[in-house]
Amino acid sequence: MSKQNQIIIAIAIIAIIGLTALFGTGDNAPQQVQVTQDVTGEMSDESNQNDAGAAAPLDTSGLGPLETPNPLGEIMLGARNTPVTIVEYSSLTCPHCGAFHRETLPDLKEKYIDKGLVKIYFRPFPFDPYATAGAMLAHCVAPKARVTFLDILFKRQQQWIQAEQPMDALQGMAKQAGLSEGDFVVCLKDQNRLDGIRQMQTAAAEELGVRSTPTFFINGAKLEGNQPLAAFEKIIKPLVVGYEGTQ
């Protein structure tokens, strides 16, 4: 990365710190299962088309605070028309979030998402400048590449976080996702993008009571922490009874 761009990134990081200072650094979620029914009903999209990885509209009518969509465009994995919708709030530097994406999400995908029973929306709740930068970059790569880019960031979490220059490591991963060095700099300088993440995080904290990551809402039922598949299935299974492919 050029010296000029390093200076620009440093300035952008200073602005990003202003966001993360609002929420502290407590990204470790509770270990025990904690489920509360905040709202009721189902979330579904009108289209039955599978647009995995695309920025998609989210129909959350009747779900209270969850009706507030991602202003930057939803990042979705799964078919649009499913009986169950999961909304995940996570931080890219949170170890519990990384563990969920490495250990639990693959099983959820195989058993429920790939069968058209569940879709999941990924919403950022960053606790530090690097997580915020990663969240901004996830909304800068091409829509079809966004889920894959997030997956790579979580699976290689320790590699880029513990790198001597984490921003250089992020830039390299963004380049693999199709962003040039110039695109990378422009993305992190985008105040509107930063404001969108701030808006989403503030709404989640103030209206939904999100305090730690990962926090999930499964058709409105709140589930906190990196829980095993069984904790998700306790909520999901009653919601998919009668649908084709239900186990």
- The structure tokens listed for 121 are 């929306």
- The structure tokens listed for 57 are 């509209």
Q: What is the pLDDT of residues 156-172, one digit of tens each?
A: 999 999 999 999 999 99
**CB within 8 Å of 52: residues ≥ 6 apart:** 76, 77, 78, 79, 147
Which H or E run contains 131?
A: helix 129-138
Which pLDDT belongs to residue 27?
Answer: 47
Share of the chain above pLDDT 70, in %: 72
* Concatenated DSSP letters of 27-96: -PPPSS--EEE---S----S---B-TTSEE----TTSGGGGS--TT-EEEESBSS-SEEEEEEE-TT-HH
| Type of residue found at 164 | E
Q: At which residue do the structure tokens 């701030």 appear?
A: 198
User: Is the confidence at residue 173, as pLDDT, over 80?
Assistant: yes
Which pLDDT belongs to residue 101?
Answer: 96
Which pLDDT belongs to residue 237?
Answer: 96
* Banded model confidence at residue 66, pLDDT cuts 50, 70, 90: confident
Q: Could you tell me which residues are beta bridge partners of residue 208?
A: none
pLDDT: which is higher, 208 or 55: 208
Half-sphere exposure (Cβ direction) of 219: Cα atoms closer than 13 Å: 18
Contact 117, 240 (CB under 8 A): yes
Which pLDDT belongs to residue 222?
Answer: 95
* Nearest partner of 207 among 18, 35, 63, judged by Cα: 63
* Banded model confidence at residue 243, pLDDT cuts 50, 70, 90: confident
* Banded model confidence at residue 209, pLDDT cuts 50, 70, 90: very high
| Type of residue found at 59 | D
Q: Rounded to the nearest 5°, which phi and psi values hold at 133?
A: -60, -45
**CB within 8 Å of 215: residues ≥ 6 apart:** 29, 88, 89, 90, 125, 204, 208, 222, 223, 224
User: Is the confidence at residue 198, as pLDDT, over 70?
Assistant: yes
Which pLDDT belongs to residue 176?
Answer: 94
Which pLDDT belongs to residue 22?
Answer: 53
Q: What is the pLDDT of residues 17-58, one digit of tens each?
A: 555 555 554 444 433 333 333 332 333 333 333 444 444 455
Average pLDDT of 204-228?
94
Average pLDDT of 80-86?
93
